[in-house]
Amino acid sequence: MDKTKKRFEKYNIAEAVIFFAGAFLRIFRLGTLPSGVYIDEPPMAYSAWCIANYGVDRYLRHMPVYFQNWYSGQSPMYTYLLALLYKLGAPMGNAAVIRLPACFFGILMLFLVYFTVKELTTNGHIRFFALFCTAFCPYFVMQSRLGLDCNLLLFWSMFSLLFLIRYCKGGKLPDLVICGVLFGLSLYTYALSYILLGIFLVLAALYLLRTKKIDVKRTLLWAVIVVVVSLPVILFAISVVFRLPEYSFLGFTVAPVSSGRLSELSGKNFIKNAILSLWAAMTHDDHYALTVDEFSTLYYISIPFVIVGACVSIVNFVKSVAKKEFCFDGLFVLFALSNAVVGGMNGEVLVYRINAVFAAYLYFLVKGVYVSVNAIKKEPVKKAAGAVLALIYAGFAFMFVGFYFSYYTRAYDGFTHSASDAIGFARENEPGMTVYVDYMGLPELLLWEEPISPYEWNESETVNGVVPKIPEDFDIGAGYIVRIADRFNREKILGSGTDIRTYEFEDYALFIIDR
C-alpha cells in the first residue's frame, strides 16, 4: 500500500470520527439542554401545530407566508418544517421536537462544509480542520441545539455558496440554476436575509461580471430564478414596507405582521454597529442562548487567525478586481461585507442577526491558520506548530464540551421553565378551581404543553381551566402559580388574603387563597 493511499485512509477514518462526534454533540440531550425553552420556541411550535391540524396559525391566518410571534414575527421555513413533524405525529410539549430541524441541519452542515472544502482544495489538512471547527466550535454546536428560526439562514446560505463555488469552477448552467433556487429558499429562513442576500447577490453578480465568470444573460437568469422562488416573501416584504392590507396569494396569506420591527433598522451609528457586530460574532454578545463568554463563538484563539484570513482574502480580492481575475476569496469577502451592512443597520448588537457571517468566518479562520503555519519556512518547525495548534484546539473542544453539558444550564439559566408540576398538583387536589399561572407574557408555553384549537383559544384565552397570566386583583378560592424568583408577585399575593396555602415546586410556587 503506497503512502498516498495510507494517508487517504487515515483522513477518511479521522473525518468519520469527527462526523459522528459532531452529530452526537447535536443530538445528545437535545430536549433537556438547554434546560427549559427559549421564548421563541413555544409560540413557533404552537403555530406549527395549528397549521398541521387546522391550516391556520394561532391568529387564525390561513397558511401565512410569514408568521406572527408573541411580540414580532417568525420566519416561515422553520415553522412549516415543524408543522410537517406535527403532521407526522410528533408530540407537543417535547422540546426535542422543536429543536429537531435545527439539529438536523446542524448535522447536515458537517457534510456541507466537507463538500465545500473539497470544491476549494484537495488539501486534507485544511478539510479536516474545517470539519473539526464545524463539529466542535461553540457557535456551530449551540445554534444546532436551539429552535430559533433565523439559525437556518447559516445552513441555507452556505448551501447556496457551495453551488455558486461550483458554478465559478466549472461554469455549468445547472449549478447556477440550483444556486439561484437555494438563494431563493434562503430568503424563507430569516427576514434580515432580504437585506443581506439582496446586497450580496448584487455585489457577487458585479464581481462575477467584472472577472468574466458570468455574462449578462446568465446574470439575469440567476436573478429571475431567485425572484420566482422567493416571490411570496418578496410580496410579504412589500406589504410590510407599504403597510398593505392582508390578502391571499396562491392559497397563502400575505399580512404585514411585525411591521413595527422596521423601526429597529436605521443608519444611525452604522460604522460603529457594523464593527461591533463583526467583533461580537468573533467573541460573544449578551444572547446567552447562542454565545458564551467563557469560550467565545469560535474559541478565543481563533480571533487572530480570522483577522489574518480576512486581511489576506481582502488583499487577494482587491488584486483580483484590479486584474479582472476571479478568486474565491472575493465571494467570502463580499459575503462578510454584506453581513456587516446588516449589523450596521441594527440598533442592537446581536450575533444571531448576522449568523450567516459564520460561513465567511469559517473560511477566514481556516485560511488564517493555513497562511500562518505555512509562513514558517523550516519544515520541522512548521510541523511542530501545526501539532501544537491541533492540541490547543482539541483542548478547547474538550473543555467546551465539558462546560456545556455540565455547567451551562447553571451558568445561563435564563430559559423559561414549565409549571406543569404545580398545575398538575392544583388540578388533582383542587378540581374545578380556576388556576392562574405566570408565564411572563408567554401563553404559548401553556398552549404548547396542552394544545387546544386556535379557535377555542381566541374565544376564551384559557386552557383547560388554566389562565396563563396573573390578574391585577386576586379572588378567594383561586390558585396562583408564580415563579419562585418573582418576589414582587409573591409578596403581592401573600398580602391579598388572611388564609393562604403555599406549595413550592422546582421553579414555581402555588398560592391558594382560602379567605
| Residue 501 to residue 13: CA distance in whole angstroms | 62
- Checking if the pLDDT of 501 tops 90, the result is yes
Which pLDDT band, with edges at 50, 70 and 90, does 260 fall under?
low
As a whole number, mean pLDDT of residues 213-221 equals: 98
- Checking if the pLDDT of 346 tops 70, the result is yes
Q: Is 67 within 8 Å of 76 (Cβ atoms)? A: yes
As a whole number, mean pLDDT of residues 437-464 equals: 92
| Residue 82 to residue 352: CA distance in whole angstroms | 20
Distance of CA 386 to the CA centre of its chain: 32
pLDDT at 329: 98
**Cα–Cα distances in angstroms (integers) from residue 502 to residues 68, 99, 210, 248, in the given order:** 37, 35, 73, 51
Which pLDDT band, with edges at 50, 70 and 90, does 3 fall under?
low
| Residue 250 to residue 257: CA distance in whole angstroms | 18
- Checking if the pLDDT of 263 tops 80, the result is no
13-44 confidence digits (pLDDT tens): 889 999 999 999 999 999 999 999 999 999 99
pLDDT at 7: 57
pLDDT at 1: 46
267-318 confidence digits (pLDDT tens): 889 999 999 999 999 999 988 899 999 999 999 999 999 999 999 999 999 9
pLDDT at 475: 87
Residue appearing with cell numbers 446567552: 288
Bigger pLDDT: 182 vs 74: 182
- Checking if the pLDDT of 168 tops 60, the result is yes
Mean pLDDT of all residues in the chain?
94
Which pLDDT band, with edges at 50, 70 and 90, does 485 fall under?
confident
358-386 confidence digits (pLDDT tens): 999 999 999 999 999 999 999 999 999 99
User: What angle, 0 to 180 degrees and rounded to 10, lies between the N-to-C axes of helices 302-323 and 357-374?
Assistant: 90
pLDDT at 6: 57
Percentage of the residues of the chain whose pLDDT score is greater than 70 = 97
- Checking if the pLDDT of 510 tops 50, the result is yes
As a whole number, mean pLDDT of residues 486-513 equals: 89
DSSP single-letter state for residue 265: B
pLDDT at 222: 98
pTM of the model as a whole: 0.95
Backbone phi and psi for residue 266, each to the nearest 5 degrees, phi listed first: -160, 170
As a whole number, mean pLDDT of residues 69-91 equals: 92
Contacts (Cβ under 8 Å, ≥6 apart) of 132: 18, 393, 397
